[in-house]
Structure 1
Amino acid sequence: MLDAIDRAILRLLQHDATLSVQAVAEQVNLTTSPCWRRIQALEDQGYIRRRVALLSRQPLELGVDVFVFIKTNQHNDRWLNDFTEAVLAMPEVMEAYRMSGDVDYLLRVVVRDIDAYDRFYKQLVSRVKLADVSSSFAMEQLKYTTELPV
Structure 2
Amino acid sequence: MPTSRVRTPKDLQLRELDHVDRRLLELLRDDARMTNQALSNTLGIAPSTCLARMKALRQAGVIRRFTIDVDPQALGQGIEALISVRLRPGARQQMASFGETLKKVPEITQYFFVGGVDDFLIHVTARDIDHIRQFVLEHLSANPIVATTQTSLVFDHVAGPATL
Q: TM-score, normalised by structure 2?
A: 0.80
Tell me the distance in 1 between the aligned counterparts of 2:158 and 2:134. 27
The aligned counterpart of 2:152 is 136
Q: Give the aligned CA root-mean-square deviation in angstroms.
A: 1.8
What are the Cα deviations for residues 45-103 of structure 1, in whole angstroms up to 9, with x where unaligned? 111111122212222122212111222223432x2133112211112222322333332
Contact 2:32–2:67 (Cα < 8 Å) also in 1? yes
Higher RCO by CA contacts (8 Å cutoff, separation 6 or greater): 1
Gaps of 5+ in 1: none
Residue 36 (1) aligns with residue 51 (2): yes
Residue 89 (1) aligns with residue 99 (2): no
Gaps of 5+ in 2: 1-15
Residue 149 (1) aligns with residue 163 (2): yes
Residue 101 (1) aligns with residue 119 (2): no
Tell me the distance in 1 between the aligned counterparts of 2:31 and 2:66. 9
Q: TM-score, normalised by structure 1?
A: 0.86
Alignment of 1:55-134 (within 5 A): 55-73=70-88, 74-77=90-93, 79-124=94-139, 125-134=141-150
Identity, % of aligned pairs?
26
Residue 4 (1) aligns with residue 49 (2): no
Contact 2:72–2:125 (Cα < 8 Å) also in 1? no
CA shift, 1:133, in A, is: 1.5
Runs of 4+ aligned residues of structure 1 deviating over 6 Å after TM superposition are: none
Tell me the distance in 1 between the aligned counterparts of 2:39 and 2:111. 33
The aligned counterpart of 2:61 is 46
